[in-house]
Structure formats: structure tokens, C-alpha cells
A and B are shown apart, each in its own frame.
Chain A
Amino acid sequence: MASVELRDVSIRFPVYGARPRGLGGAFAAVGGAIRRGGDGILLVEALRGLSLSLTRGDRLGLVGHNGAGKSTLLRVIAGIYPPSSGTRRVHGRVLSLFDPMLGMALECTGRENVVLRGIYMGLTPRQARARIDEVADFCELGPYMDLPLGTWSTGMQLRLAFALATALDPDILLLDEQFGMGDAAFQEKAEGRLRDFVARAGIVVQASHSEPLIRASCSKVLLLDHGRAAMIGPPDAVFARYRAAAREAAVAR
């Protein structure tokens, strides 16, 4: 049973090697709060007192300004950043898709990369090899599968990355920003596959600046503002609030 339970989670990054001039408590239009810790070390507070509860079937969109904490929140759910304070309880197999090219070697062939990426994602070499043909078929890359990735175009590499990432069956799927999906012909095909993939996952959390994308795939939206949960609710209400906040910020400037 897939579930995500965050309670009062804060993430504070210590900043080493920077000597700012009296920034403590300064406010910026972007990013989390910058403050000074007890030991005098500068801290960037990427998330502050955030609570979140998701169960099977939830499709959550994350929106907010640059540095609002969207990617950090995804990484907390993935278990990458243990909370500085608060608790995190996550059940189910998590798949995080942040960098589509993770674990791919430009020097290796398409086939070898299928295995490499699969191993990164926790498959055994045998399980990974079993997926080569399906992925190759879907990408329509034909003979290029036997050439090093470095000889491919960026779009072709993204095709492979996309096909690989969506060949797995996670309980909890975490997506950062939009996946690049290649040219128009492939995009149509990819959208269908992405829909199926998302439908199979128990929980999906997706961060994006694209309102149409979030509206199309999410039932709930969380608006983040300087690391805090400003609002969580149905897309219509949250986007209304988000746009109003953006207008206010523009007027204030």
C-alpha cells in the first residue's frame, strides 16, 4: 500500500564557503529564508514546517516560484534529504525522475545504456536486459541502438531516457519539471505512454511551472511559497491564488 506522510518537515541547508555581508533574515522574491544557525553558520531554509499526507490514487501537483521548495520536497519524499526536523514516513517503491539522463554513459551503446540505467534503478542485470527489446521498439531508434549514445542527437537521447524511465512500475512516482520528449511524432506516442505509466503508479507527485500540464494530470495542487505550504486544494482554487500572488509580487516591484 503506497502512502506518504510528512509531519512538520523542515529542511535547512548549511552554507559553507560563503561569507555574506549581513544577510541574516533578508527577504528575497525567490528562494527559501536565509538565516543564521546557532553556531553562526548560514542556513538556507528550503522547507519550513511542511506537513503532507498522500494515499493511493493521489495525483499531487507542486507549484510555486523559483526556489519555493518544489524540488526539495520531491527529494524529501524520495528519501534523499532526511528532514532537518519533523518526520517522514513513506511506504512503497519510490521512483524519482529528476534528471532524465541519470546513469547514462555517452560512450556506451543504446543497448548498454538500457542495462546501465536499469541497474541504477535497482533492477538486476538480467531484468534490465529483458527490457532492451521493448524499449528499443518503443523508441524506434533501430540501428542506432548499437551505436554509442554520443553519436545520437539530444532528442534521440531523450527518447531513450523517456522510454527507459517509463518502463518501470513504481508505487510512488516523483517527477520534476517536464520530461523532454523529442519531436512531434514521438511526443504524441510518449504522452500516451506517460498517461499509462502515471495511471499504474499508486501516487504521483509532479513539480511543474506548466499550468496545463498540472491541470491535465493532477487532482490536487500544493502551492509552495518560500518553503512553506501556502495552500493545498483543487487546481482551480490553487491556481487562482497562485496567479493573484504573482500579480501582487509584480505590483510590489
Chain B
Amino acid sequence: MNAPAARTMAPPNAAPPVPGRVSAALGDLADGARQWPQWFTLGNLEIRLRFRRTGLGPLWTSLSFAVLLAALGFVYARVLAVDPRTYVPYLALGLLAWNFAATMLQEACELYIHAAHTLKQLCVPKTVFLYRLLWRNLVLLALNAAVAAAALALCRARIGPSALLALPGLALLSLNLLWVGLLLALAGARFWAASRAVQAALPIAMLVTPVIWRPGTPALAALARWNPLYWAVELVRGPLTGAPPAPLAWAGAAGAALAGTAVALILFARLRERLLYWL
């Protein structure tokens, strides 16, 4: 008598009501942030372990970035027939922002696949791993930024007070990378091909995005205008090359962060409970 009644109230496959799931997802976001010692310490440790017993340690990142910058700067300043003094700072800042965003997107795809062992041992907020990914890439960004700063100094680039806008630009870029990263991490856990797809797409995306070249002709400018990755790079590069993004670009980036976070949150709320079953 009792059992069928209970079944009507809670059918066997019923998921929790939607508001409950959204607040659980928000709780995950907040708990993950609150556990900063975990993502801060483990993010730093990952960098240390990646470069252990290599002599220079994490400075290898800076060194390889410096070599890349010198090689590309030397060749492309001639290929494009432009003045290295203005080209190299543009290239340095573009590569800096691009490497940060691209690494983050690539690594996000396998975030939960690599975290599977830990996730099956402990009940931890799923976003801890996302924050850890962002933190690790911010540290690597800082190491490369020192090289970019040296390149700017060598080229005697003039930097005005508007250069400070690069900091809110980086913050806005990071927020956007967080929601895209969360979506990629969820997609990557369910569809293991996602990582391959992103890996194949990123080099192409770099070539069609103004990182090495400038959108000089009207056709190229139109191509750039509809490329979100161009705006992502410009958030950091623009202010430091004396051309901060227009107010509309800031509004667009902020709008994308808000709308994207909302979409990612809804999907996260729906899929968070399924995640462990995929791993």
C-alpha cells in the first residue's frame, strides 16, 4: 500500500527539482572558490613538478617564449615588411594572450578525465579543478609576461596610463575562459573526442586570428570583427599597444561573460550529477 504511493511521489528516475540543482551548482561554484588553498597549492605544485630537475625550472616557459618571440619577430617583421619596433610589441602581447587562452581551452577538455581518480575518492566541489586550471595558467602567463615586458622595453614602446586597462581586460578574459572551460570540461568528460577536436582547431584558429598579422585590409578587418578570439586577444593586447578596445568591445566581452556564465551554469546544474558516471 505504502510503496506505490511513495513511487508516485518520487518516480524511480526523477531528477531533483530544477531550482535545487541550480542552487547546488551555485554552491559548487562558491565552495570551490572557498577551497582556494587546494587549487592555489596544487596549481603551484603542478608547475613545480612539470619542471622539476630541469635546472631552470618554470623559467623554461619564459625561455621558450623568448625564443619563439625572437624567431617569429625576426622573420615576420620582414615577411610583412613592417618596422620591428612597432611589430615586436604587437606580436609579443598577441602571443602572450593567445598562449594563455589556447592552453586553458586545450587543457580544459581533459580536466575531468585527469581528475577522475581524485573525484572517485573524495566528495569535492567539481569547480576546484577549474579554478586550479585557471590559476596554473595565470602563473604561466606571468612568467611569459616578464618576457613580453622585456621585449616592449627593448623596442622602446611608449606606454601610457591607459595600459592599466590590460588588467581589467585580463580579468574579463579569465571570466570568459572560465565558462568556456567549464563547458569544454563537461563536453570532454562525456565525449572524449572533444579534446582531439579542440587540438585540431586551435592551430587553425591562431592562423586566422590577428595574432601574427594585423587586420590591415577591409576584408581582414571584417574577418577579425566576427572572430571572438580576436576580441579576447585585444582585451589584453589593445591597452598595451596604445589602442584600448572601444567601449562597445568592453560591453560585448562583459555581456559574453554574463550570458556565457548563465548558460554554463544551467548546463553544469543539469550535468553535474551525471559527471561521475561518465568517468
Cβ B42 vs Cβ A75 within 8 A: no
Q: When each residue 80-107 of chain A gets 1 if its CB lies under 8 Å from chain B and 0 otherwise, what string results?
A: 1110111100000010101100110101
Q: Which residues of B contact A78 (CB under 8 A)?
A: 122-123
- B46 nearest CB across to chain A (Å): 10
Residue A221 at the chain B interface, CB threshold 8 Å: no
Segment touching B, from A117-125, A210-218, A224-232: A117-125
Q: Which residues of B contact A75 (CB under 8 A)?
A: 120
CA distance A105 to B46 in the complex (A): 10
Cβ A81 vs Cβ B49 within 8 A: no
Residue B38 at the chain A interface, CB threshold 8 Å: yes
Cβ A85 vs Cβ B12 within 8 A: yes
**Chain B interface size range:** 20 to 34
- B135 nearest CB across to chain A (Å): 14
Cβ A80 vs Cβ B49 within 8 A: no
CA distance A80 to B272 in the complex (A): 11
Q: Which residues of B contact A102 (CB under 8 A)?
A: 117-118, 121-122
Residue B74 at the chain A interface, CB threshold 8 Å: no
Cβ A108 vs Cβ B121 within 8 A: no
Q: Which residues of A contact B122 (CB under 8 A)?
A: 78, 80, 96, 102, 120-121
- B158 nearest CB across to chain A (Å): 43
Segment touching B, from A8-16, A22-30, A188-196, A240-248: A8-16
CA distance A121 to B122 in the complex (A): 8
Residue B45 at the chain A interface, CB threshold 8 Å: yes
Q: Which residues of A contact B11 (CB under 8 A)?
A: 85
Residue B60 at the chain A interface, CB threshold 8 Å: no
Cβ B37 vs Cβ A99 within 8 A: no
Residue B180 at the chain A interface, CB threshold 8 Å: no
Residue A180 at the chain B interface, CB threshold 8 Å: no
CA distance A99 to B41 in the complex (A): 21
Q: Which residues of A contact B35 (CB under 8 A)?
A: 122
Main secondary structure of the interface of B (DSSP, over half): helix
Residue A116 at the chain B interface, CB threshold 8 Å: yes
Q: When each residue 27-67 of chain A gets 1 if its CB lies under 8 Å from chain B and 0 otherwise, what string results?
A: 00000000000000000000000000000000000000000
Do A119 and B121 contact each other (CB < 8 Å), given the known contacts A84-B13, A87-B10? no
- A147 nearest CB across to chain B (Å): 14
Cβ B118 vs Cβ A105 within 8 A: no
Residue A155 at the chain B interface, CB threshold 8 Å: no
Cβ A116 vs Cβ B41 within 8 A: yes
Highest count of chain A CB atoms <10 Å: which of B42, B119, B276, B277? B277
Q: When each residue 39-80 of chain B gets 1 if its CB lies under 8 Å from chain A and 0 otherwise, what string results?
A: 001100100010010000000000000000000000000000
- A103 nearest CB across to chain B (Å): 7
Q: Which residues of A contact B38 (CB under 8 A)?
A: 119-120
- B119 nearest CB across to chain A (Å): 7
CA distance A84 to B15 in the complex (A): 8
Q: Which residues of A contact B6 (CB under 8 A)?
A: 8
Cβ A119 vs Cβ B276 within 8 A: no
Cβ B273 vs Cβ A119 within 8 A: no
Cβ A80 vs Cβ B13 within 8 A: no
CA distance A174 to B119 in the complex (A): 15
- A93 nearest CB across to chain B (Å): 11
Do A94 and B121 contact each other (CB < 8 Å), given the known contacts A107-B52, A108-B45? no
Cβ B120 vs Cβ A124 within 8 A: no
Cβ B37 vs Cβ A124 within 8 A: yes
9 A-B pairs closest in CB distance: A79-B123, A85-B12, A82-B273, A102-B121, A98-B121, A78-B123, A125-B37, A119-B38, A80-B123
Interface residues of B (CB under 8 A from A): 6, 10-14, 35, 37-38, 41-42, 45, 49, 52, 117-123, 273, 276-278
Further 10 A-B residue pairs, CB within 8 A, beyond A107-B49, A107-B52 = A78-B123, A84-B277, A85-B10, A85-B14, A87-B10, A99-B117, A115-B41, A119-B38, A119-B42, A120-B122
Interface residues of A (CB under 8 A from B): 8, 10, 13-14, 16, 75, 78-82, 84-87, 94, 96, 98-99, 102-103, 105, 107-108, 115-116, 119-122, 124-125
Name 8 interchain pairs, CB-CB below 8 A, sorted by A: A8-B6, A80-B119, A98-B120, A99-B117, A103-B118, A105-B45, A107-B52, A125-B41
